[in-house]
Each structure stands twice: as structure tokens, then as C-alpha cells.
Amino acid sequence: MEESNELHSEENKNSQDNNKKRKLKTPAQLMALEKFYNEHKYPTEEMKSQLAEQLRLSEKQISGWFCHRRLKDKRLSRDETQANGRQDRSSVVIQDRASGLGQDSCGSTKHGEHRFVDPREVESRRLSGHDFTAADITREYRSHYTERIGDMDNTSSESSSSLQDRLLTRKEDPYDVETSRYLTHTKGMENMGYKPSGFLKVKGEAENAAITAVKRQLGRQYWEDGPLLGVEFDLLPPGAFESPIIGSGHEPSTIGNTVLRSPDISGVKGQLSPSTRYEVYNSRLNSQQENPSIMHGFDLQEKKSGKQLRQKLTYLNDTNSSPGKNFSLDIYKPSGGISAYNSNKKDRMRTKGNYGRKFTSEQTEPCSDEYDKFMSPKIVQRNEYLKSRPSSSMEKFDGECKAMKDYHKPLRRMNSTDEMAGTKQARVNFPQRDYGTNSFAQMPPRKNQIKGTAMEMPSSFSEDETAETNSSVD
């Protein structure tokens, strides 16, 4: 350990030269990391190196971040499991079994029983294409990128297990509608050749049974595309939440033969779905980029709204991040961990941490285009992905980075005057937006959306997107 200590001390010296205190990752870095994490929970050294270079972080930091990220996933999954354990022990069993496939993304070598499938092996296999036919890969990519183009979540067999787990183990919450929807869809995907691996497969089957049981208990017909478990809700007034959540937003989104509706959140209390700060942040950024002014306007008015609204919005957001919704809401959503996942944290489903953090002058955006890339409108990402998928993630990484450079050139920060203007603008724009047919990125951001940091974050809002947004409204 002496060596490592020396190394640490050396690094400490170096780092301390720069800053004695720990540095927070910038949003760009976080997004990049999250995105990469969702694709590669166990990045190779080369990947780490490139990532570090691109994000201007040390490889050690990268490694550390990934490690902590995996731990976070694991911890959250565990907590989630415990939370659900009382209500559905079978779920725990299933989950534990499934964890060997990916739930334990860290593939802890300490847990020998999980070693039979090393996540790294899965990862490498995924990378190398083993275990998948070319068609499977194609399908995976297709489902991956069409389900949520530009979305950080992933449906790949293992890398999203954590999120899937969290999403799929929530029996007690209304979210299960989405879950069942997702499972239903998963079935469909099986028919299409998509085979959920490991956890998804096992979990899905069991979950269906549980959902069926719930349906029976309710004694009412379960709506595949309707309100939650036989509960009908009154439509929200168009002005609710200062956003047209209802209105056009209730127009079902149609993808293929699947009709997806934005779930009615009225009357749905609490039971927030998992959401990482990053997710929140991401969703905020999505909202912001869609129309930065909206954020500010909303933020200003929302401060008085309190938790209730936050929860609703959170649910909205989370609902949209549910797998089932991903088919229509191609939102950049990571499969990241949860910041609020248990009873203790339900009320904490608000933005915290990084998203409100201010970046010091020392904390420069390592790759503003990188940042923009991940902030990029879904359309751009869709085009990116559909156009051509780079042979490697890093290539894609680079490509996107460059692409976004051009895309967000016209961006500039708003000054306080702009902000005020934006606030006004927001009030005008809000009711016009079609949340039903667009991603929830266009939904009203939550309270505290980019509080304080809003001005510091490079906006990806561009004229093109303005046009796009407006056109969608029209």
C-alpha cells in the first residue's frame, strides 16, 4: 500500500496544486460520464483514457467516478429492493437472482455467487458482439436508439439493469402501469427478436403476475394506455401548473401501432419514480434547452408552488422516463441511479446537488460542445444515431462532440435582462407547447430548475431548435 500511498500523495500534490478541495464534475462531464456509463459500465482503459482526455479529467478520476457510479447503482438497487421487499418478497428473490446478470453492475468479486456472469464479460461481449447475432445487435441498437434516441437510458442487457430494476420493482406505485406497459412492450419486442436478458426476462414474467394480481384486486379493467390501474382522473385544466399538460398533451403519442398517452398525473400522489440528480438535471437541461426562458419563468413562479407541484412534475418527469414512455419520448434519460427512491427521500425528489451547484471559475466546462452534445435536442441526437452509428462509442463520442459544436454555435448566455425577457416569454410559450407529442423535455421543468446555475450553463437552445419547437407547436 505504500506504493499506492505514494501515488496518491503524488497525485494529491498535483491535484492540490490545482485545488486542494475536491472538484465537482461539471454538468458536461457528468453528462458525458453518465452517457458513457450507460453504455459501458466497465470501460476499458482505453475508453477511460479517451474519456479522461475529452473531459479533461484524470484517468483516476474517471475510474473513480465509474466505480462510485457503480456503487451508487448498486446501493440504490439494494435500497430499492429493501423498500420493495416487504411488499413483494418474491420480487426480491427475483431481483437477487437477476443481480447476477447485471444488477450488481460492479460485478463484485467478493460475491462469488454472482460471478457466474461477470458484468465485464457481458460488457465485453456486448462490445464484441458475442452472444448476439448481427441481427440482434441491429435490433438492439435500433431499439436502443429508437426507443430513446439521445436518451441515456439503455435497454441493453446489462448496462441498464439498474434502472430497469428500479423501474420494474415498484409494485406499489402507479408507475407500475408503465412497468406493465413496458413489459407488455417487451413481449412485443421478443416477438421482434429482442430478447430481454437476465433480469428483464425473469423480472418481467414475475412482474406480470404481480400486476395481474393487482388488477384483480382492483377488480377493474386495466387500461393499457389509460389512467393508472382503473383510476380515472379528471383532466387538468389547461392552465394547471402553468403548462399545458393536458390540452394537446393528452393527445396520445403514436408510434407504430402503439398508442402512448401521457399519464394523467392528477391525483397521483408521491411515489416518485427513481431519479438521479443527474436525471433531474438532465431533464432540466432538456427543458432548458428546449426553451431556456421557460425554465426561468417557470422557476420564478414555481417557487411558490411547493412540494406538491414538484412532486407532480417529478412524477411527470419520471413517468416520461419510464421505459414504456421511451418509445414515444425519446428523451435523454440516463439509467442512472436514484436520488430519491425510498420513503425517506420521496420528499426529496427535488433537484439538489450538482444541478444547483455553481461552478467556480476553476471549473471550466471541459468540452462545452461536449456538454451541448448531451444537452442537445433529441432531434439532433436522433439524426446522429440514425444517420450512422460510429463503430465505437468513443468515435460516436467524438463525432457527437464535433457535431454539437456546430449545432450550438449561436448559443450564448442570457444575461439578467434576457432572463427577465425569458420569463415573460415562457408565460407566453408555455400554453402553446404540445407535450403530448413531444418529449417531456418540453414539459415544464421543475422548481429550482437550474437554480442559480442557469446562467452559467451553456444553453443548447438554438434558432434551429426554436424553429423546431415552434413548428411542433404549430
Partner DNA sequence: TTGTGTTTTATTGCCTCC
Partner DNA sequence: GGAGGCAATAAAACACAA
Q: Contact residues for DNA (CB under 7 A)?
A: 1, 3-5, 8-9, 11-12, 15, 21-25, 30, 42, 45, 60-61, 63-68, 70-72, 74, 105-112, 115, 120, 276-278, 307, 337, 339-340, 344-345, 348, 350-359, 447-448, 451-453
- Our CB check for DNA shows the closer of 77 and 462 to be 77
Q: What is the dihedral of CA 355, 159, 437, 288, to 10 degrees?
A: 20
User: At closest approach, how far in Å is the CB of 368 from DNA?
Assistant: 17
- Our CB check for DNA shows the closer of 303 and 409 to be 303
- Our CB check for DNA shows the closer of 284 and 382 to be 284
User: At closest approach, how far in Å is the CB of 343 from DNA?
Assistant: 10
Q: What is the dihedral of CA 352, 356, 362, 368, to 10 degrees?
A: 100
CA distances from 96 to 310, 341, 460 (A): 33, 18, 41
User: At closest approach, how far in Å is the CB of 244 from DNA?
Assistant: 24
Rg of the Cα trace of the chain?
21
User: At closest approach, how far in Å is the CB of 124 from DNA?
Assistant: 10
User: At closest approach, how far in Å is the CB of 283 from DNA?
Assistant: 14
- Our CB check for DNA shows the closer of 46 and 232 to be 46
Whole-number Å distance between alpha carbons of 223 and 243: 25
Which residue in 299, 282, 241, 267 sits closest to 449, CA to CA?
299
User: At closest approach, how far in Å is the CB of 276 from DNA?
Assistant: 5
Whole-number Å distance between alpha carbons of 458 and 456: 6
State CA 429 to chain mean position distance.
25
Whole-number Å distance between alpha carbons of 23 and 236: 43
The grid cell for 418 is: 434576457
287, HSE (Cβ side, Cα atoms, 13 Å): 32
- Our CB check for DNA shows the closer of 43 and 297 to be 43
Q: Are 367 and 401 in contact (CB under 8 A)?
A: yes
Find all residues with CB under 8 Å of 62, minimum gap 6, and list them. Answer: 33, 43, 48, 51, 52, 55
- Our CB check for DNA shows the closer of 244 and 274 to be 274
User: At closest approach, how far in Å is the CB of 55 from DNA?
Assistant: 11
Q: Are 461 and 292 in contact (CB under 8 A)?
A: yes
User: At closest approach, how far in Å is the CB of 385 from DNA?
Assistant: 26
- Our CB check for DNA shows the closer of 112 and 219 to be 112
User: At closest approach, how far in Å is the CB of 286 from DNA?
Assistant: 17
- Our CB check for DNA shows the closer of 249 and 356 to be 356
User: At closest approach, how far in Å is the CB of 53 from DNA?
Assistant: 16
Whole-number Å distance between alpha carbons of 225 and 259: 7
- Our CB check for DNA shows the closer of 324 and 356 to be 356
330, HSE (Cβ side, Cα atoms, 13 Å): 21
The secondary structure of 341-407 as a DSSP string is: -SHHHHTT-S--GGGGPPPPTT---TTHHHHHHHH--HHHHHHHHHH---SSHHHHHHHHHHHHHHH
Pairing state between β 258-260 and 253-255 = antiparallel
- Our CB check for DNA shows the closer of 142 and 345 to be 345
